[in-house]
Amino acid sequence: MTRPHTPPTHDRSTTGASGAIVPVLAFAGIVVAVMQTLLVPVIKDLPQLLDTSPSNATWVLTSTLLSGAVATPIMGRLGDLFGKRRMLLASLSVMVVGALISGFTSALVPMIVGRTLQGFAMGAIPLGIGLMRDELPRERLASAMALMSSSIGVGGGLALPLAAAVAQNTDWHVLFFGAAALGVLAIVLTLVAVPETRTRAQGTFDHLGALGLSAGLVLFLLPITKGSDWGWTSPATLGLFGASAAVLLLWGVLELRIPAPLVDLRTTARREVLLTNLASIMVGVSFYVVSLVLPQLLQLPSSTGYGLGQSMIVAGLCVAPLGLTMMFTAPVYARISAKYGPKSTLILGLLIIGIGYGAGLGLMSAAWQTVVVSVVLGAGIGLAYSSLPALIIGAVDASETGAANGLNTLMRSIGTSVSSAVIGMVLANTANHVGGVAVPTMHGFRISFLIATAAVAVGLLLAVFLPSRRPALTLRASSEGGGAGGGAGAGGGIGEAEVVSKEDRAAVVR
């Protein structure tokens, strides 16, 4: 049954409850990030903890990645159709169940099941951004979306030292019970402080499209995450890549032919949306490289000649500024974007990331230097991440916000997945083998930073070709958010509360 687009009945500029929406939704995003980075401090110990082989233990991480990739666009579309708050609560509830399953087991299969369920929480990010668009006054929207978009890095940065402290001093299962408690708290706060939006997309849920996209993503991400174990030219790896291409091609043909697709590929192919999503992949690559390299460099023994010999907790504290700086850039982003537009902010963020990785090539000889690198990269990544939802929201109709941001979040996840696979392969191929143990080398770390710099350069090139519009005019085109015309013509700048007539709006779009 087709659901009409229903605008909110309240005035967003006078909604009293809006003051609590931003911190509650940002907290939900941080909880999702904590879930993602929960096992980082015990990754190397997982085979022993689960009494299994290293290759089997990697499924504990891979399962979360795959389920998160599948859930993100699907939960976004379900939120557009049936209510974003409802789907946010569902995502968090599934995460809590998964955390409890993992917390009560030390066996491989139940652990994988629990981690798979935890991956569904990734849908919370696009759902939170969509709720903010629907419920907040326009003058608060830019900084709020920036904070929500950056929450994945904020939570990851904060979780690393805390998870390391828990893993060192208590039973590792406490990590899951802590995540479950945070999830329950996020659910309660959402029920109390976040209203359900009445904005709805038209159409029904595309079950066949969801199945096709899920199959294509799993077939694509599985060889990316397991290629280093299977061999990049092995029949299994190449076969899965080929199957993924075939499935996604058929899925694309299907999506173009049905009236209410899971992903509107015509909108996705629009220049602004396409370039933003491609740039998101590059930002995802650059974000994950530092998360992979610096903790290893900090914890390697100083006897290697380049390792910094720090404990797990100290290593986490040195990398934590990455996430904290991302959080503090949210209000800075709002000011820059209001004046120059989100395209300029994205370009500035990518330039700062490039500077951070360039400086990092020479700042690897002391713990304090890694803190400096983390701060610079956090500032750049925070600005870049904050720009992405504004660019997407400015280019789509309000009823498509959840699905469009879900797809954008998926693009970032693909970037981190590719980054993990490529950097893992680089570090493995450049490692020294000491007593049968592969030890990453400084040469491998520097190559990893150069790869991140190359990804930033590609992202900059893509960002330069994004459409440029003056922020004020951009807002005028998008301020009536519910119409299709606004979705087609808006450029994404959000920073002032200015409403113009439909005639003026049409002239701006033209």
Mean pLDDT of 186-207: 85
| pLDDT-based confidence at residue 499 (cuts at 50, 70, 90) | very low
The residue to which tokens 């996209």 are assigned: 213
| pLDDT score, position 93 | 95
482 pLDDT higher than 50: no
How far apart are alpha carbons 281 and 257 in whole angstroms? 27
Span of 186-195, 242-251, 305-314 with lowest mean pLDDT: 305-314
Predicted local distance difference test score (pLDDT) of residue 450: 93
Residues 6 or more apart from 436 whose CB is under 8 A from it?
none
Q: How high is the pLDDT of residue 496?
A: 33
Which residue, among 471, 402, 394, 421, has the nearest Cα to 88 in the 3D structure? Answer: 402
Nearest to 475 by CA among 502, 493, 488, 487: 493
CATH of 12-206+258-509, one of 3.10.590.10, 1.20.1250.20, 3.80.10.10, 3.40.640.10: 1.20.1250.20
Query: Which tokens hold the place of 432?
Result: 């020294």
End-to-end CA distance of the chain: 34
17, 103 contact by CB (below 8 A): no
CA distance linking residue 482 with residue 396, whole number of Å: 10
Is residue 434 helix, strand or coil? strand
> What DSSP designation does 45 have?
G
215-229, 243-257, 262-276, 496-510: range with lowest mean pLDDT: 496-510
The structure tokens 């400096």 sit at 372
Alpha carbon distance 164, 107 (integer Å): 22
Q: Where are the domains of the chain?
A: 12-206+258-509, 207-257
pLDDT in tens, 403-453: 777 788 788 878 887 887 788 788 878 878 776 667 888 888 899 999 999
Would the CA dihedral through 255, 256, 257, 259 be positive or negative? positive
Token digits of residue 50: 């689960």
Model pLDDT for residues 71-91, shown as the tens digit of each residue: 888 888 888 888 889 999 999
- Among 63-72, 364-373, 397-406, the range scoring the smallest mean pLDDT is 397-406
Contact 68, 125 (CB under 8 A): no
Q: What is the pTM of this model?
A: 0.75
Residues 32-44 pLDDT 10s: 888 877 887 777 7
In DSSP terms, 437 is beta-bridged to 434
